[in-house]
Amino acid sequence: MWPDWVIAFVGDGRIALLALAVIGLEALVIVVFLRRRARIGSLVLTMASGAGLLGALYAALSGASAGAIAIWLILALVAHASDMATRLFRNN
């Protein structure tokens, strides 16, 4: 059903690397063009949690150990918890 190149692109984890590159590009655009309108600290935590999940996906698809996958997931959890804490307890 899917072309071989799509199966290979997803199967070996390159799709996760592409998504990580997109997150990096978004961060660059925000810092360069939108720094006055965006809360950079909150965005960094949001992007870090997504990057942690993508790192875990890449690790899993590329055959890394369970420990490496767990480290990525723990990093994503810490970033997500920090992001939620800053949103919930922000003094406005």
Q: What is the mean pLDDT of the chain?
A: 91
Phi/psi region, residue 39 (left: phi>0; alpha: psi -120 to 50; beta: rest), is beta
Domain that holds residue 14: 4-88
Residue numbers in the chain where pLDDT is lower than 50: none
Asked if residue 13 lies in contact with residue 54, where contact means CB atoms within 8 angstroms, the answer is: no
Determine the pLDDT at residue 29. 87
The model carries a pTM of: 0.85
What pLDDT is stored for residue 44 in this prediction? 87
For residues 23 and 4, what is the distance between their CA atoms, to the nearest angstrom?
26
The secondary element (H helix, E strand) that includes residue 50 is helix 40-61
* Domain tally, the chain: 1
CA 76/CA 50 separation, integer angstroms: 7
